[in-house]
Amino acid sequence: MKPVIIIITSILLLLTTLTGSLLSKDNVEKKSVHFFDLQSNRTESEFLADLSEINKIIKQLGYKGLEYKFYKIKDFDTSEKYRYYFDSTWPSDNIYEEVHNLPAYRDWRKKNEREISGTN
């Protein structure tokens, strides 16, 4: 019985490995995370308004369900750097590139470049 289990386990492991290597880059979800600190002349509300604007643009261009989300560490946390981050999840590298190369996205990015240039 033990050899049968070892053979079945080996076959499943091989199939899992082969399936993973056969997936194209297109089928792999992409997570984009940007850590940053607000610039002294910016408020959270202003930054949220900018993210809301790009989320609206992305949705209007037909990419429903794709959006940036904003996070802030708790006030009691003593970290002095990177107290904020925003992220997004994209269905694939191709969709990520496609959206980021659209004229409307590039125009938004150019307009907000100074405000978001401190992100990583």
- pLDDT per position as a tens digit, 13-49: 555 555 554 555 567 899 999 999 988 888 999 999 9
The arrangement of strands across the sheet holding 84-90 comes to 30-36, 84-90, 69-72
Distance between CA atoms of residues 87 and 51, nearest Å: 10
For 85, half-sphere exposure in the C-beta direction (CA atoms, 13 angstrom radius) is 12
| Alpha helix ranges (H) inside 1-80 | 2-22, 44-60
Q: Where are the domains of the chain?
A: 24-116
Judge: domain 24-116, CATH 1.10.150.20: no
Token duo for residue 11: 């076959």
Side-chain half-sphere exposure of 49, counting CA atoms within 13 A? 7
Report how far residue 3's alpha carbon sits from residue 101's, in angstroms, rounded to the nearest whole number.
54
Secondary element (H or E) of residue 87: strand 84-90
What integer is the mean pLDDT of 77-82? 89
Would you say residue 72 has pLDDT above 90?
yes
